[in-house]
Structures are given as C-alpha cells and as structure tokens.
Structure 1
Amino acid sequence: SLLRLYKKTSGNGTVSENLFPCSCEQFCGMIAHWLMFILFSTVFVKLACAFHYGREDLDVIGLSFRKDIWVKHIQLYPDAGHKPNLTPMHGCLLKKAGEQGRAFTFDIATNLPCSVTLQPGPDNAGKACGVDFEVKTYIATETDPEEELDRKDTARMTVRKIQFAPDATGAPGPKADICKSFMMSDKPVHLQASLEKEIYYHGDPINVNIKVKNETSRTVTKIKIIVEQTTDVVLYSADKYTKTVLAQDFGETIDAHSTFNKSLAVTPLLAENKKKRGLALDGRLKDEDTNLASNTIIRPGMDKEVLGILVSYKIKVNLMVSSGGLLGGLTASDIQVELPLILMHPKPQGKLIVLPNK
C-alpha cells in the first residue's frame, strides 16, 4: 500500500523532520539539518504522549495546561549510538539528504492511550481537551533535552495513534431481555434485544434484533433506539460525560396479544453530532475530519489513569406502551433494555497505526 510521508521545518530552516509510520509498534522518520549552523549544538527528536486540559490561557498564570503521560528522547547529533533498523523509506530519505540526514525509530509503548479529543463547542477557540502525540525535533545548546527551547529552533508535528479492532472471534453479540407487568393487567410484555456480533466498525449499520411478546391488552405504539457515548476523564478528575449520539424512532406498532420479531438498523455518525460539545472523537488532526472515538480497550494489568480518557458505548432499546382506555397515551409507559456496543476501526491491509498531521 502507498506510504505517506510528512515533513515539517523549523522556523529558522536549520532542521526539518520527515515522518512516516513503519509498523503497529513503531514510528519512523529522518531529520535533515544544516551542519554549519548546529556544529556546536545538539539535535534531539522527542516523542511525547500528553493530556491537554483545553485551557491554554492557564499557562499565562503559571499553570500547565498539559500533562505528559509518556516521553522519549533520542539524540541524533552528535551521534549518541541510536542505530535504527532502516526501512526502504529511510534509505530513500537518507540518499536524498546525504551527510545532513539522521534516521530514527521510536518504539511505541503498548500501554499508551490512543488519540482522543473532546469536541469543543461551536464558539470555543483554542486547543481542545484530549490526548495526543507530538514529534518534536529541536536544537539544544547543551546535551540537555529538557532545556528551555526557542520556537525558531524547533520543528514539531502532531500525530494520531489509532487502535484497530481485534480479530473477530465468531462469538455472538450481547443480548438482554426484560419482562414487565402493568397495573390492571395480569399478563406482561416480554422484550428481548440482541446484536449480531461483538464489534462494529465506524460508519457501518448496526442491526438490532428485537423480539417482543405482548400478552397484555395494551398496544406498543413506538420503538426507539438510542446510542449513548460515555466518556470518563480519569487522569485528573472523576469527570464522566454521557452524550446521545443517535436517537431514532421507528413507527412499528405491536398490537395487544401479538408478537414482533424484526431487525432494525441504526448508524451513529459524527456528521449528525458536529455541534455537540464534549463528545469524544478519534484525535482530530488539523484541517482533517475524524469520527466518533473508538472504544477504549483495557488489557489486563493496564493502569486506567495512564489512558487519560476512557470511551464506551451502549444501545438502549425502548418500547412505548399505551395505557389504552380514555387516557390513552397520557399514562403510557416505557420498557427498556441496554446493550454494550463496541465501535472500532477495521484492521487495514498494511500495518499503519500512527497518522501524522500535514
């Protein structure tokens, strides 16, 4: 498959970085520098996973608006022994750059979170709250990667880490059922809802199988399916946000003393939720669209706090049951079940997992 290359140059033009993904666990690149300008300096490249609070104005009053979750530095000049396994792309870049080129490879820790952005409101400006990754190449006057940096000596690029769905196991999807009785009725309504599989991909229809056995004298006047996203911000507080990303009514009626068995399809999309503040998205890149955030998959032994933001989904299936009689819908009742939902990206044909910004 076609491999995309991204380039960013420092403000003074003395150093540039070329980035490309090379595997699911690694991120590769090459820097080019002008030796005559950095002869007595040190060049580092840094990969950082950080949590942004979305309040850049805090930095003005001495408070940090970001927290580094994971940071790794590599000294590229003078040579400090970093010897990456060179890919064909490395070879092409180094041939073009000549003696000014320095190749590098970052091994990405497997316990790091994926890129997640909380969608700002239509009137909110500035950097959104969320988790992102940044590759920064910079010139330091000493061999100290933490020294104060001049922006003109720095080339930086935001990258996005995406988690792909695991291989399908063939296991059936979740199922839930409920049996509810009503006043003035000695028979109940049975509701069962299920999904066909465990994992769904972004943008694909989700078929919800619904079975109803109505043994009462009442009529089910409407079926409603709701998809909710729950976001837990666990790094700095116990904030939890629940947002409805889809609410769809179906004009199906179920008469008294009858049954119903049908599959109803819904498709939650970001396009229908563009103005919903606080909705979790897969890390947004500059001038590029994205989608609803994927579920956070927590493996055994992982520290939830390191993940920063946890995302999950559930589907609610709701029946509106009329009371009948003179009051009609004024005394209608709901019957509801909930199903867990997993939304993720399918595995690509290649092994690209980190997408740099342009």
Structure 2
Amino acid sequence: MSVYECVMHIADLNFVSLKVYKKVAPNNKIVLYVENREVVINGSSPPVIRGVVIADSEYLQSHSLYGQLVLVFRYGREDEEVMGLTFSNIIILQTQQLHPMKESPQTDGPPRSTLQKTIERHLSACGVAHAFQFQVSSCAPPSVSLYPAKSYTGAPLGTSYEVHFFAGKAQSEKPLRRASVRMTVRLCQLPPPSCGPAPRNAVLKQFLLSGGRVHLEVSLQKEVFVQEQSIAFRVFVNNGCKRTVRKIKAEVVQAVDVAMFKSGKFKSVVASVETTEGCPVVTDATLVRDFELEPRVGSFKNWIALEDSPERGGRLSPSVVESAVDWSNFAVHVSYYVKVKLLLSGVGGGVSVRVPFISVRETAAEPETEAAEKAPDKAPAPAADSNGDTQEIVAADVHATKAEGAADAGHEPAQNNNVQLDENGKVFVRQESCARSSDV
C-alpha cells in the first residue's frame, strides 16, 4: 500500500498563508484534503474540521462515499495484541453520506471556506469533489498521547481523533482498506486566561521530638506557562525549630490521570535540581532563593504524555483539565506542579509543598487569524497517524486568488497538486512530484 501526505501552502493576493494536508487512498480512487489537523477548543464556539474529498467519478457509479469523525481510545500496547484481541475503543461521533447526497445541493448548510472553494474549483477535474465539515462538541476530550519508558513503535495510548472516508455499497458494511483513507486530527484545549494572582502555597510543620516549626513557602512567577518555557519560582524558608535544613530539592512533575481506570495514574519528573547553596539553614535563620526549571523530555520510568514519540523529538503534552460537568470516561487528564522539599537533619522526615501551574501550547494560545498570517518557511516535520504509519510530508506551493471570479471561466484545471498564478493573474497548474512512503 502506497500512502503519502502532502502539505501545500495556499496564499491569496494578500499573502495570507494557509496549509492543506493531503492523503490518498491505496487504490488512488479517493483523495482527502484537510485544512487543519489541529483544532482548538476555546469554549466560545465548537471547533470545526473542514476539508474536501475527491473521488473517482467512474468508481462512484457503483459505490457510495461516506465520511466519519472517529474517536479512538487506546488503553493497551499495540504490540501485545494477539489472536484478534484489540486494546482500543472506536467511537463514531459523526457520519455523512457525501455521494449520492441525501439532501439537495441547494439546501442551506454551513458556509464553505475560501480554501474549500479553491480546491473544488481547481481540482474538480480530477473527480467528484465534495466539501465536508465536522463540528466537534466543545465537551469532547482533548487529544493526549501516552508513551512508555521502554522503546515502543506502535500506536500511542490515549485519546485521538480521525477523519475517515471510504467507498462501499452500504454504510453498515466493513470498509475495505484499499478503498478508504484516514487522517489523524489533534484536538487541543485552550485554557481560559489567568486573571488571578500568581499561585503560591505555604506549609508550617512542627516536629514531634523538637520544638518550633519550619515555614516553607513557594510562589510562582505566573500561573500559565508556554511549553518548553522555564518555570520561575521563589522559595522562602524560615527555620524556627532546632533542626537544620541541609538541602533543597525542587522538581517539576507531570501527573497523568486516565479517567477510565482507577489505577491509571502516573507521575513523571520532567525537571529537577538539588542544591545546598545557602545551606545549612540553622535555627532562627531565613533563606530566600529563586529557581528556574526548564521541563524537558528525558529519562522517565512511567508512562508520559507527549505530543509525539520520544524518538521523533516529541514535546511534553500541554495541560488537560476538565470540569466535573464535562467529565468524560475517554479523557486523559494532564497536570503539572512544582514540588519543593527540604531535607533536614535528624529523624522525622522533611518538609514539602506543591504548587500547580498550567502548561499551554504556543500555537494553541494564538488566535487563528494571527496564526494564519504567519507564513511557514518550511514544511512541518512528518507526522505519525494513530495506526503507527508515518506519513511523508512533501511541500508544494499553491497560489489562488481570494475573489471568487479571479480564475478564468474557460480555464480547465489539470490533474495535479500545484496551482499557481501566471503573469496575467490567471490560474495555471504546474507539475509537482510527490515522494511516497514504502508499501505497507
């Protein structure tokens, strides 16, 4: 099976750059174009997945074309599946019949985007083009990928989403792999802006065998941090007991909670430091120190939430927090906190305190209009679908006019993937080769 994925930069006359992701079915009868593989839940409006699917006209004479939005929840390793046993649940969220259409084309529906209209207008000669839109519920759990500490090449555990298009005689029949195309879509959560003060926490501990108390207070610089940003915080220690503070240990911890299982709780230290600077802190002494810890993917012992596999340089997953009202059994909650521990002399343990914070994606924190104005200089890194197949990404330039009537009415689009403007401002198509991945 030869599958490949193509990224094309589409720019209008105002030089606003967008991207479209392309994937072809193994039998080359269905071609899928998706505007964005990352949609953001911002709480104000439900996210929408838009795209265009092009199918061979002769093939559709004996087959119907269906589209689905699927939630995939994997709770076990793929390499441990034997004798037809699968460790995943597949939930079909939405289904659409694109050909033949049940409703009249004149029926009022969601407005098509400029990108959808451009693809339909210039690539309709390749086959029957249908624009589609999947509206995702704002209560849907975000996408989270879990990876084990040992080397693992299968599909990641956690929650993921796929858009699936297939051709068949009926919707209820099992889709053939050669006549279907899937593409993974990431659903990101955008937490509300922080309006409160910077988080802080303090503890007073009194020991049984020594008089007095130890006061430990930790205050963060702010509540929301961007991925791979240094976590700045201040530690205040006031030793009012007879014991001596010998060492300070600070950690940034990622906590993962799989809602479906009671035992699905994992903790991984993503940054840590031990210091004796300013120590020992004797009786009636005070110490104030500033720390900066930069969370990174290093060696870990438990399952960890990443955006991509460690072999591909995946970054840490952003925070995923759901309220009790929107609780979902398919959600994987990810949280972060700073833990500071004082190691004291004598017997009786130390003193520790935790301060939570929120980690967000840099791209998800930007509005869509601002992100669209940033034209990428190069194609993104290759992405891996939930089935473990790594798709090769090829960059191509596609220029289209923003106005509807910019294209010449008598122009016939060619059957390729690269559309540009000539010297007269008309649209023409230039041949562009696409690299394919090895057969599966």
Instruction: Provide the TM-score with structure 1 as the length reference.
Output: 0.86
Q: Once structures 1 and 2 are overlaid, which stretch shifts more, 33-42 or 77-86?
A: 77-86
Q: Who is 1:344 aligned against?
A: 360
Q: In the alignment, what sits opposite 1:320?
A: 343
Whether 1:35 aligns to 2:35 is: no
Partner of 1:244: 269
- CA deviation string 1:206-233 (max 9, x = no partner): 1222111123444322211122222222
Equivalent residues in 2 for 1:56-67, closer than 5 Å? 56=78, 60-67=82-89
| 1:23 to partner: Cα distance | 6.5
Letter in 2 for 1:313: Y
Shift of 1:259: 1.1
Structure 2 partner of 1:141: 169
Correspondent of 2:256 among 223, 231, 253: 231
Post-superposition offset of 1:9? 0.5
Following the alignment from structure 1 to structure 2, what is the Cα–Cα distance between the partners of residues 269 and 23? 25
- Structure-to-structure mapping, 1:253-332, within 5 angstroms: 253-256=279-282, 257-270=284-297, 272-273=298-299, 276-282=301-307, 284=308, 289-307=313-331, 309-323=332-346, 331=347
For residue 337 of structure 1, what is the amino acid of its counterpart? V
Aligned to 1:328: none
Q: Specify every segment of 5 or more residues in structure 2 that has no aligned partner in the other structure, as ranges.
A: 1-15, 41-46, 373-381, 385-392, 394-440
| 1:166-187 Cα shifts (integer Å, max 9, x gaps) | 2231x11332222233466433
Root-mean-square deviation over aligned CA pairs:
2.8
Any residues of structure 2 matched to 1:1-358 within 5 Å, and which? 2-21=17-36, 24=40, 25-56=47-78, 60-81=82-103, 83-98=109-124, 100-142=128-170, 144=171, 146-169=172-195, 171-182=196-207, 185-235=210-260, 238-252=263-277, 253-256=279-282, 257-270=284-297, 272-273=298-299, 276-282=301-307, 284=308, 289-307=313-331, 309-323=332-346, 331=347, 333-346=349-362, 347-350=365-368, 358=393
Alignment check: 8 A CA contact 1:157 1:356 kept: no
The CA distance in 2 between the partners of 1:297 and 1:80, in whole Å, is 39
| Counterpart Cα distance in 1 of 2:70 and 2:62 | 26
Mapped partners of 1:78, 1:94: distance in 2: 17
Cα distance change of structure 1 residues 192 and 277 upon mapping to structure 2, 3 Å threshold: closer
Once the two structures are TM-superposed, the CA of residue 300 in structure 1 deviates from its matched residue by 5.0
Query: Which ranges in structure 1 are unaligned for 5 or more consecutive residues?
Result: 324-330
After TM superposition, the score normalised by the length of structure 2 is 0.71
How far the C-alpha of 1:333 sits from its partner, in A, is 4.2
- Structure 1 residues 69 and 127: alpha-carbon distance in aligned structure 2, compared to 1, 3 A threshold: same
Distance (whole Å) between structure 2 residues aligned to residue 286 and residue 267 of structure 1: 17
Give the Cα–Cα distance (whole angstroms) in 1 for the partners of residues 310 and 99 of structure 2: 30
Residue pair 2:228, 2:295 contacting (<8 A) in 1 also:
yes
2:266/2:302 contact within 8 Å kept: no
User: 1:306 deviation in Å?
Assistant: 3.8
The secondary structure found in structure 2 opposite 1:38 is helix
Q: Identity, % of aligned pairs?
A: 25
Do 1:320 and 1:332's aligned partners in 2 also have CA atoms closer than 8 Å?
no
Q: Which amino acid aligns with 2:215?
A: H
User: Aligned to 2:35, what secondary structure does the other structure show?
Assistant: strand
Cα offsets for 1:30-57 (capped at 9, x unmatched): 0111101221211112111110123446
Shift of 1:286: 11
TM-superposed CA distance for 1:277, in Å, is 4.4
Distance 1:211 1:23, change over 3 A: closer
